[in-house]
Amino acid sequence: MPITDVSLEDGARITHPDLVDLAGCRIGADARVGPFVQIRPGSIVGPRCKVSSHSALGPGVALGEGVFVGHGVVIGEAGAEASGPTSIGRPTSIGRPTRIGAGASLGSRATVLPGVTVGRGAMIGAGAVVAEDVPDFALVVGVPGRVIGDVRDRAAAQDCAPEPA
């Protein structure tokens, strides 16, 4: 599989370079890209991100710092090519870029449709289909994806939980 016109920043790692399809993208410092990943032109994988196996980022997708992408996740128009000349991180034929905020986490087999923004620190459940913008720190599950809580509330609840007997 090809790797063409890819910018790798310091410490960025492609675990199996023969098993990816990367074109016209930038991989940030200390980011990791697993096998069988496809990243289309104009996309940015931010610093310290992890893109797990069998995932696909369409053209013009931007992952903020520290984003976790689970196995088999699709973000934007997977397999699509950007229309016209592209510049990394610019909108593509969909008119609006697809953005994943810093520290967000996308569970395995989740799908984020083109032009959607997922807020920083948000958690998208496995298999969810996200068709609308997601606020910062939202917890999203289901098809279609719906906000069911705030990840900060869950962390506080776990901190206050009684110790097991």
The more confident residue out of 142 and 157 is 142
Q: Is the peptide bond before 144 cis (omega within 30 degrees of 0)?
A: yes
Query: What's the distance, CA 93 to chain centroid?
Result: 19
* Cα separation, 1 vs 43, whole angstroms: 18
With a cut of 60, say whether residue 159 has pLDDT above it. Answer: no
- Say what the pTM is: 0.85
With a cut of 60, say whether residue 22 has pLDDT above it. Answer: yes
How far are the Cα atoms of 9, 42, 76, 82 from residue 90, in angstroms, in the given order?
Answer: 19, 6, 13, 10
Query: What does the pLDDT average to over 126-138?
Result: 97
Q: Determine the pLDDT at residue 165.
A: 62
Domains along the chain with CATH numbers: 3-160 (2.160.10.10)
Query: What does the pLDDT average to over 110-118?
Result: 97
With a cut of 60, say whether residue 150 has pLDDT above it. Answer: yes
Give which of 92, 102, 104 is closest to 138, Cα–Cα.
Answer: 104
Share of the chain above pLDDT 90, in %: 78
Q: Which are the contacts of 150, defined by CB distance < 8 A and separation ≥ 6?
A: 137, 138, 139
Query: What does the pLDDT average to over 71-93?
Result: 65
For the CA atoms of the chain, what is the radius of gyration?
A: 16
Q: Determine the pLDDT at residue 157.
A: 56
Q: Determine the pLDDT at residue 3.
A: 87
- Enzyme catalytic residues: 71
The more confident residue out of 85 and 52 is 52
